[in-house]
Amino acid sequence: MSAARPSRALFDDSTITAELQRLEHEQLDDGGWDFDFLHYFAGQTVEWRGLTTLAAIRTLREHRRI
């Protein structure tokens, strides 16, 4: 596994692998990821989906999944 950080020692490889697979499967048809809290209005949805998508891409890239 890649992306060595201090907190990495708290999780075993199978947990990390399962969470990375979950993240990959949560990708939407439009290529982005959604956030898991209430969508109050369209502007907020666009902004948070962008941030959530960037975080997902960064995580997958750090773990050499993309």
Domain hosting 19: range is 6-63
Cα(46)–Cα(40) distance, integer angstroms: 11
Mean pLDDT of 31-38: 96
Q: Does residue 29 form part of some domain?
A: yes
Taking every pair of C-alpha atoms in the chain, what is the biggest distance, in angstroms? 39
pLDDT higher than threshold 60 for residue 1: no
Number of domains in the chain: 1
pLDDT of residue 31: 98
Query: Predicted confidence band at 5 (pLDDT cuts at 50, 70, 90)?
Result: confident
Is residue 40 one of the residues assigned to a domain? Answer: yes
What's the pTM?
A: 0.85
In a domain, 32, yes or no: yes
Identity (one letter) of the amino acid at 22? Answer: R
In a domain, 1, yes or no: no
Instruction: With respect to residue 25, please indicate whether it lies within any of the assigned structural domains.
Output: yes
pLDDT score for 2: 58
Q: Is 4's pLDDT higher than 80?
A: no
